[in-house]
Amino acid sequence: MNMEEIVSIIPVKDTEILGFNLATLVALGGLFVLLLITRQIVKVIMPRFLARVIAENKFAGKVVADSTKPLGTAAGCGVVFLLLGDMSGPSVLVPELISNWLPSILKLVMVVTIVMWAYKLVGIVQAVFGWLDDDEELDGSEKTLITAIESVLRFCITIFGAVFIADALGFDLNTMIAGLGITGLALALAAKDTISNLFGATVVLLDRPFKIGDWVIIGDVEGEVTDIGLRTTLIRTSLDTVITMPNANLTNTPVENWGKRRFRRWQPIIKLDINSDPSDVDNFCNGVMELIKANGETMKEESSWAQVSALGPDAIDIGCNIYWDIASSKVEREARNKFLLSAMNLAKEHGLSFHDGRIRHSA
């Protein structure tokens, strides 16, 4: 069915109003109502179509709810655009300006709302990852991958959206493509920094020298990686400032990633009084080694030790080598505190005193 057929079946008097005949105005009004009805139907159907994802992920429900409005508008415009046709026929009386521009406006609105819908639906990527994740908590690797996928999708939507919008506005795509071919070299030279940043982002995503949440040192910058985009990487420093690092810098700058440590090495020095009995010191060293082995948060026992490392004029230095199997700095601080308190109690059990720099021993 087209506009001519719709107008021909409307039983109204052939009266002209502002360049329209009455039947055409009624038909246009009906098509507008049809657009609103189609929009509302899509808003109702979409959440039901994705009911399973929405039920298991609240974020997905919000994304779908936000995306149904532009999708419904696009569907309504598409239906009306198909029914309008070319608006030519003996029964259709409409001003030439309206007949020329109304289909184009509908097409443009349809394309723009589809692009808007696609942008909003990008957020479903995070919802899908959360739905598929077993522990219901996204780690740094998953967050990095989500950010990368969302950035690539937005980039593709922008490129294809611009092409379709240009086509809806009546631009000659063949001419545009030819023009892009001529100016492509100039654009590439002008955008070399952007291209370098995109290449850097690709290297980060493929080689994965770090992920979101890792503590890194890149050149003079040290902090936690909070976001990895196509152009820049955001790093939050210990001063709670955010540094924007161009991805191009990541391809030729060494990256020290503290998040990839397999263990945390600690080498405390325990100073005992110089007048301590050697056998008690030896027993103390053996006891400290037993503390290391008995601790459930240590590792690499074969490489750990607690031995006399130096003799000074006033103190005996007991050097320790400990490897923590701990991922958190907070947990490491607590483990160190517990270990040192245990070493203090062990020293008291053996009747040993710690070195006091305020006391000078006479020869």
- 3.90.1300.10, 2.10.25.10, 3.40.50.720, 2.30.30.60: CATH of 211-260: 2.30.30.60
Query: ∠ at Cα 50 (47, 54), nearest 5°?
Result: 80
What is the C-alpha to C-alpha distance for residues 204 and 230, in angstroms, rounded to an integer? 10
- Please indicate whether the domains covering 211-260 and 264-349 agree at the CATH topology level: no
What is the C-alpha to C-alpha distance for residues 289 and 285, in angstroms, rounded to an integer? 6
Residues with Cβ < 8 Å from 178, sequence gap 6 or more? none
Q: What is the pLDDT along the chain (363 residues), one digit of tens a residue?
A: 666 667 667 776 566 676 677 777 777 888 888 888 988 888 888 777 766 656 666 666 677 777 888 888 888 888 888 877 766 666 666 677 777 777 888 888 888 888 888 888 787 777 666 666 655 566 555 666 677 777 778 878 888 888 888 877 777 666 666 655 555 555 555 556 666 766 776 777 667 788 888 889 998 899 998 888 777 889 999 888 999 988 888 878 888 888 777 788 889 999 999 989 999 999 999 999 999 999 888 988 889 999 999 988 889 999 999 998 887 778 888 999 999 999 999 999 999 999 876 655 554
Q: Does domain 264-349 match CATH 3.40.50.300?
A: no
Whether the Cβ atoms of residue 268 and residue 231 lie closer than 8 Å to each other: no
Query: ∠ at Cα 251 (250, 257), nearest 5°?
Result: 50
pTM value is 0.51
What is the C-alpha to C-alpha distance for residues 103 and 109, in angstroms, rounded to an integer? 10
Could you tell me the residue ranges of all domains in the chain? 3-190, 211-260, 264-349
